[in-house]
Amino acid sequence: MTRLTILITLITIGSILTCSSCKKLDLQMDVPNCIERKIRKIRKEPVRNPPAEVWQWKFDDNTYYYFTSDCCDAFNYLYDEKCNQICAPDGGFSGVGDGNCPTFPNDIEKQLIWKDDR
């Protein structure tokens, strides 16, 4: 093979791999770019059991994103719209989170925005 053929082959393979990772996520709604990046990162990991989920929580004019963990004894984290980790509302060995969450009202609006369906 000539160098040109090898170069064209490598460029083609690289383009295919790059475009496959750019596939539009099938989300229920628009989310901040940093949240989408977190979801894309999860998609590059081995499939979790139970499958990863991301939920949107809304209350008091604030929007948060709840990510389930990959294990029963790990924390499930809550992030704000800028991907700042707020707290772990639940999970961990005790199942009650990290104890750093504010008191949430009972009427939090929760909506599933992504579930790993691989």
108 lies in some domain: yes
Domain housing 90: 28-115
Token readout for 49 is 């059991």
Residue 77 CA to residue 6 CA, distance in Å, equals 46
Burial of 27 (0-12, 13-18, 19+ CB in 10 A): middle
pLDDT digits (tens, 9 = 90+) for 70-99: 887 899 999 999 999 999 999 999 999 999
37 lies in some domain: yes
pLDDT digits (tens, 9 = 90+) for 30-66: 999 999 999 999 999 999 999 999 999 998 889 999 9
Number of domain units in the chain: 1
6 lies in some domain: no
pLDDT at 72: 79
Could you tell me if 84 and 38 are in contact, meaning their C-beta atoms sit under 8 angstroms apart? Answer: no
20 lies in some domain: no
Residue 57 CA to residue 86 CA, distance in Å, equals 12
